[in-house]
Chains A and B, each alone.
Chain A
């Protein structure tokens, strides 16, 4: 094994030529045209394509070759070809050098984490913009800005993009950046795979957006068959982008799981593992087992559309319920793929700002692992009103309600930690506290949906929509912003303006609740999801919700302004440990060196021993901690 030597300084124009994002874009576009042409040739002579105005084979081949071109342009083919030719394995690639490493294949987990932060953030804002457009349409109870079909595409793009991107929201930026540092490792187990997982994300996002050019998506984010089989060519973009994201999720899980299992520093026992790392471990288990099922389900849709198989077509022996089962076998664990890292982040922050040890550490771990296990046993509650076998309903009702017990553990941990604490109400702490407020409402409304009688009356209504926005936005997105304010001083070496941060928080928190709480009422008043028209009597309620949603949009702009202001104009250097945290990630210098540690640290105590008399430091980082290898 050998590290890549530091490249000599080269002029900017020279750095732009070679394997980087620009080359990737060029080869990706070229690959798309080549693939579409090949697909067109392949389709010649196939009767079922004659007389239709779309060639799914051509589109899929275009996307496939486009993705291959994108990855080749970024330099991902160099290593596998080299290995095929018998060259020795290496782990590191472009880890040193200038800012250009953020725009190319780089195996430094910290660079990948920052790539994720900005990459996923851009798509998150595009998804958010879609939401604003939807709320604009809903200002009036009749069609106004967009016809029904375009509205469906808008909400499908919003839902799909948000689910795809928020899946990578925590593990992408923060898991990749901080897990190796928090466990005392110098890198991830498979750094090249780590880089690949990121670069698949923009490809998936761009492909998804291309659906607009191919007739849109009519199915919502769930892509239910048989509409998915019969939809216009925009569905091909949906299928391909979801396949890419699911592959990325699988590989992220594999990488993080292997890293946590094998690369913990000496002394980093399971009971000293930071709670955030436990949440990443639990999420990774879900990702490596659930995401492949999504790939398979999407592969079946792809074959139904391009090869005329009939997995989901009842007229040819298939069943649309097969899709629903496969989709939700992934889809419900997906809910916890979103929630668990949020649990981890807020529990990581509470002891820091409460200056008390984390109450019930083992209980929290048990809660997370319990959620992981149970989340594979609840998926059929999404099918309660689909005509499923009635005798199966009680089982899935029970398992769904059972999952509230391990989830409740997390709330107990929070209450125990905050009890009689001297809380510092910093911006990250405000987001952490809001997480519990919002998630409580999301969780309690979920109990209504797990009960068959109440689910029957609320299914498909805005009640469901309000519920999952309370869990995903109120939970995950609040945790994400808490993590941004908490960890950005370490990641980017800058401090965000606290006043702007608090304005962002209060606007977001207040208007998030003003946006989504009334939608529970809209659901009870029979307002259906995914429809742009509604009863005129609900216009006042909807106008209030739209106005509140716009303020959420304004709060996001304040965050962006704060980020740009702090990063570009002020550039106030952050203290190395601004929160006085015991976390190992705060014991390393800022900016974090490429190898993280001069030598692998020896962990000497747990990370949450705040206020414990004579608690030893979390790790011995001194060069003389251990004899050097071979001495």
Chain B
């Protein structure tokens, strides 16, 4: 099977280790990976801040770039939610028939990483080894946007030596919200405080999630307060094996 990796703009720039982990994981499972270097951003930041026309130009670029690929894997649930929930409205308003048709044909082939593993590849045990206590943070877009459900838990439960420590108020936002964290920095911080209280109560060594955006937010506060818990993207746990882990 061939899969094209849409790494996302911020993973490319700030979290390349997540991309390397996806490549390692999927190649281990027998998937050949393509990477189209013309890719940039899905347009989520612009759309969610109100820059609709700008978001449209990025959405169009995404569809034109990926329309001929077998399938697209994205290690970020919020970018997938952008494509599923917001592209239709953008194309309805600003696109033409051709674009809408290309998008409709592409959409079923776009997967978030845990969806790709469980739904497309049909695997739960990816052969990973991660001997640590891990708290899973359910990012809002994965939880309520993609209805990701039990998929991440099923995958994590098969990781050898991993101990999952449940977190209270799993469904509550960490307060990132993209430009919200800057426009409403104080409120965002108060939400983050509440999330940290729940996270620290788990006594986990790592906090993982499907999105590095939430993890950048949570991890930034963990570091600011000299706390030992570390953020780690879901893909990096699944890529870890006895020989190589982070």
Say whether A and B bind each other: no
